[in-house]
Amino acid sequence: MNNLFDISKKVALVTGGSRGIGAMVAEGFVKNGVKTYITSRKHDACNKKAQELSNFGECISIPADLTDLKAMDDLVSKIKENEDNLHILVNNAGAAWGASFDDFPEIGWDKVMDTNVKSIFFLTQKLVDILEYSGTNDDPSRIINIGSIDGIGIPRMETYSYPASKAAVHQLTKVLANRLSDRNINVNAIAPGPFESDMMASTLDLYSEEIKKSVPRGRIGIKEDMVGISIFLSSRASAYITGTIIPVDGGSLVGRRNMD
């Protein structure tokens, strides 16, 4: 009972780990003794973040564009060449596209779906053998998919492919949890609400105070909020939890903050 949340000595891969929510999760893992690989499309940013996090533990950069299956294969090969085990896969890499309904382009649909949904499925498929090898019945390997409350509720902004993709991530999480449970792999999703990230930057610039007032907890999500749920879903404490979608949103889905 004393070490239910201990994740030290595990090995993790965090996609989109150079910034935003991915960087928060990666930092939390590294500071809690996890050997953490991060990947992102931008090489310099990925390498810089890994160098920064290496001041606190082990963090290795393997830049890759996960919409390119050849680049994904190269990433998987490098992980398997360097590690016998992979205990945690965080599928966080994502994209969004904003445009009015009448002007929304095909590229804005395909780019978001390929990044947010297709890459999760195929990266999981390619890493399932090492994840299965690393898990036990008592402490399964973990896949954590980063969804969004926009995949549950209705977003404020016109980002049509984004909420559709995150709803798909949530359903894919449940399907994979069912399929992989007998291989000692737990699959869960986090559905973040408003957090400070590059993807949310323009929205927060315009509506930060309005969003804070609408969130029952009265604030934007911070690093500790995301790290806490990620550690829980990676630790022995959640060994009996799979196929869940966990909102981390300050109560946003409950309803608007009572301002009376």
Per the structure block, which two tokens stand in for 172?
A: 């894919």
Catalytic annotation present for 160: no
Backbone angles phi, psi at 13, to 5 degrees: -125, 125
Give the DSSP H or E segment for 49: helix 43-53
What whole-number distance in Å separates Cα of residue 101 and Cα of residue 87? 41
Assess contact for 80 and 48: CB atoms under 8 A.
no
Biggest CA pair distance of the chain: 59
**Phi/psi at 102 (5° precision):** -70, -25
Tokens 């992102």, residue? Answer: 40
Per the CB < 8 A criterion, the answer to whether 130 and 85 are in contact is: yes
- C-alpha Rg value of the chain to the nearest Å: 18
Catalytic-labelled residue, pool 37, 133, 160, 162: 162
63 CA to centre of own chain: 16
For 195, how many CA atoms within 13 A lie in the half-sphere containing its CB?
29
Catalytic residues: 162
